[in-house]
Chains A and B, each alone.
Chain A
Amino acid sequence: MRASALARALRVIENHPEFIRWCEQVPNPGDGEYALDFEFGIDLRPQWAQSGLSPSGVRPVEIVTVRFADDYPNTAPEFRLRADFPRTFPHLQPGRAEQAPKPCLVLGSETNLFRRIGVGGMLAQLSHWLHAAAHDRLNDDPATWEPARRDRVDDHVIVRLDEVQALPGGRHTWAYRSAIYGTWYLRRDLRLHRLMPLCESVKLTPEFWAGLVQHQSGHDICGGRTLCVILAPPPSGAEPFVADLYRPDSVHDVATLRVALNDWHCVEAFDSLLSSINQNLSRTKRNEVRHPIPIVLLVNVRRPRPLAGTRSSIETMAYVLELNVREGLPLSESSPVRLAAVIEQTSAALLQRFNQQATDQVTRGWATVGCGSLGSKIATLAARQGRAPSVLIDPEFQEPHNYARHALTPGDPKAPNLLLSLKAPALEYEIARLQQKAVAWPMPFEMALADPEKRLKLCKTSDWLLVNTTASVEVRNVLAMTGQQFALPRIAEGALLGAGRVGYWAVTGPDHNPNCGELFAQATHLFGETPGVAKAALSVKSQLDTIRTGMGCGSETMPVSDATITQHAAAMATSLLQLHKEGLPQAGQIWIGLQSLDGMSIQWGSNPVAPFLRVSLDTDDHNPWTLHVAAAVVEKIEADVRFHPTTETGGVLWGCVNEAIGAIYVVDLLDAPPDSKRTATSFELGTHGLEAVKAHRSSQTHGHLHCVGTWHSHLLPSGPSSQDRQVARTIAEAGGHANALLIWTPNGFVGQLADVESINPTIPRA
């Protein structure tokens, strides 16, 4: 022990305003533990102080013992109260009646409290505790009941609280359940039990006792099957019995347990159990059991209010009785009883609580489309927060190289790769291990959508969101085409670009406007606004690479590390759960993240995307074509029209073409060149400087966005004129991709396709 640290601590105690005096002469520190008593004042009401006691039994001056371990200040000091201090309080650590009680100074670790605020802070907490105890305010929240503290007990019973508290019910006041246990013998007198009740009910038949076996795992650990007994007080008349007083938490043997059970009206059922155990002890296979078998006793005590932090008014008290089978010793009044902490089994609610998710919010149905590296990470990150997806869709097998960048790890060190392991079922299993249910659909997403039954099921189970992480143009196309048609849920898309330097995360608008295709076109426009992002996401160097996976085979994939994918997945999962909490945005939304050059951080920015204007293009092609015009572009056109109220006006459409679904996206305009001519009946697009502007603008997105047609206005409500059709033909005959002529009229927009292949499709012959 450091004498200087001890001296400092004693001075801090002396400086507390409620410190009165040391009860004895302060000795010099030696090698071992150091303990001192001191008088500590409690600010009582005058009448209580005069009578020497508060109604709850606290004195105006209490004797407090402070104990410093021999390794102080590595460990926190301990404060204890006089041995006869009343025990009928919450926030008091359990202990035998003859032991000095230890108040619970903080909800959590006292060591952490000490590290944070030192001895003075601990003493301030003690002062709060004693003041609250004197005024009977340790449980003064009228809405809740403070449960008995079990912070420092060795034994844990891992349960599903709703299951064990549902039993026994009605007239039955006990239930016997099978349980499994593990015991770790640390030293001769120090052991830890871990017990877990199972769903299976058992009868205490001779066969049951004979079936108790113990497995030894090495020298120190054993485990096996045992008994879980659940008791509940019988109802008093028509009403359930409510234990509305704190009783001393001092159970340590069968005698003191019986006193507690007597208070809770359960002692008869317990005596019956004891009798059965002792009668059947001889039936156990004592030669096969080396250590005592722990039996867990759970007592469901109904309280007048819900327990703090829960909605249940039932406090489940857990005790462990050790059955000495080998020696054949019956349980007697002096047999030790161990306190156990009731620990919640892993569940969605527990995971939600630890991730600050609202447990009263039901998890909305969502589906992961694509269970690859990004999709698996988003799905497991959400599952660890208790918000697992309902459906997992991916047709691929989990190949050896996938483990390099996947949320899942190989199952068996000796046989790391199960043959024919599909990604979706593997992820389903992982989520099931987190006690949540997701259903795997190991099939291409397009196939699932084509099946009306599957489609209906998808819309029902994942009615909140479909999250597409396939990075597949085909899947994006299908979603863009069918989202509205099949009334699919709204869609989010997550993807990485440019070796993971850029992250793309987007959510479609209500009624799929903007849809996935429109959002990606808009994102391409946004990439182009920042040269660094454009270079990372759109340049030739940013494209896929091939990495060798075996002899003469490789995988075309993005050269990106697992850590970078995890960075993006964490951000996307965070956004996903934020949307889950707060609701999807009113319009579409795009988030773009750019990784710093040192790879350690990602800067995200978000951009709302208003609904696109969709104009069916007039064409002879039997496949329809649609022009998708960004809202900002529509606003620009209308502003230009207002600026030229007496003449036609126009300009150049800027965007990209998706021929696979017959879509031309317009995300910006180029101004009409200065030599353009505007009259009341026509608009002639000039050429002066236009080529240079086109080249410059196209270079900003590394060629991904380009001219996709022209627009002009009509002063009267009319469709394409013969002159317009001629212009369309001229544009079409110039070759290249499909273009559009967009016409503003007082009655709305009309459009004409300009595509030579649509006018006269000719298939070149070999």
Chain B
Amino acid sequence: MARLAAKAVSKTYGATKALRRGDLEVEAGEVHVLIGSNGSGKSTLCKIVAGSVRPDNGELLFEGHPMVVSGPNAARKIGIGIFYQELSLAPHRTVAENILLSDLPGGVFVDRKALNTKAQRYIDLFKNVTGDNFHAGAIVETLRPDQRQLVEIMKALSSEAPILIFDEPTSALDRAQVDRFFEILRELKDDGRSIVFISHRMDEIFALGDRVTVIRDGETVATKRIAETDAAEVIRLMVGGDETLTAAEPHQPTAVAATAKTVLAVDALSGDGFGNVSFNVAAGEILGLGGLHGQGQSAVLRALFGATPPTSGTVLLNDKALASSSPRATINRGLAYISGDRRRDGVIAGRPILENVTPVHALKQRLSLATPSSLREKAKPALEALRTKFAGFSHPIGSLSGGNQQKIVIARWLIDRPDVLLLDDPTKGIDLQAKTDLFQLIRKLAAEGMAIVLYSSEDAELLGNADRILVFNGGSVTRELTGADRTPFNLYQAAYEAA
């Protein structure tokens, strides 16, 4: 008998069917992976199981008995702990307080000593991989994103619940952190705990999972043993019938002719979080930036774009000096920057799709009037090229799934063709379908002569798309991989080399 079962649960928000028919069975002592594209309903299913959302229909069984989960507290009592995709930390409190937030030791007054001792147990689990300045008394606000994510993980672990749900827990972590986290999960599994794991990363799914449940369009499609399936099959299940979209085919680097014109030449660029970075990008070339998370890749891209202007160094764009003083200045010169943090840098929440897709076009064309009909016509080709699904330009962008929101934000940059496209981990948290669509487009743009700089936290994306890869370590480039050297092994090795 399954420890936890959701049978035919469904949930509708207004007119949106978030989940049509979700089925999930989790055994004791297994890591159960839940996978599906964004908007497919896996997060909703998790939230139903964790008690933060009530299903409209269907039933939940805990060890065979029907259970009514009336709220997060009830779920915790039953024995379900959850890690949420949206960080839910108290930024001004300490690491220890956050870890034990739902179960602070002491009565009316918090017992600080007990608190720190207890929290230390969870911090020690990640010994040596937490990075600098991470301790029980550190204020969460001062931590790096990956460290905050570790706190969130520790918080989930501290529930000591028999069933632990992790909704994309590794998006900000570096490889060493992920490895340690997986070791911990395996130990928990061996202790008989049940773990539900949501991830978009194939390598993680196969490294960790025992079984995988695939959700597509709000319905559970299949549950497979990991040992009896492979990535291609999982992707096929996720994508559905369309064979052409199944797997990301390995990329043969476009032989960028040696004569190709250098579009962007960066020389000895330094700034906040990186130093002395130099590289050239030719027309039609996709330059990859790789390495562990947070080694300066994003910082270089943001500096080039003028979001946080560099402190020294020179940049030539089409042989003319580029002053990266502000995004407005660099956009006018032909740069485009797509951030993976769409909520912060991209989405104009609450505004219609039309207003979200047109600002860059308006800037480049010096538009002062907004004529919706003509703007719609301008935006359509870019949205179509990305296979964006949306009902109408006047609908708020928030009505779309994460992947489609990101497509709207990306399309913003492509209405008027930029010379250089800077991609800063552009697929973070979007579904595989959207990733496939995006990379198809990126390669097409390169083939048409655009110079592209791609930072990705997923090695497969770099290996599959980049013609050259610069590996970053500690804020500078430590190695360049070209041609046949672009192997997972080399990339891994270069990333871990001491700087």
Chains A and B come from one and the same complex: no
Residues of B within 8 A of A (CB): none
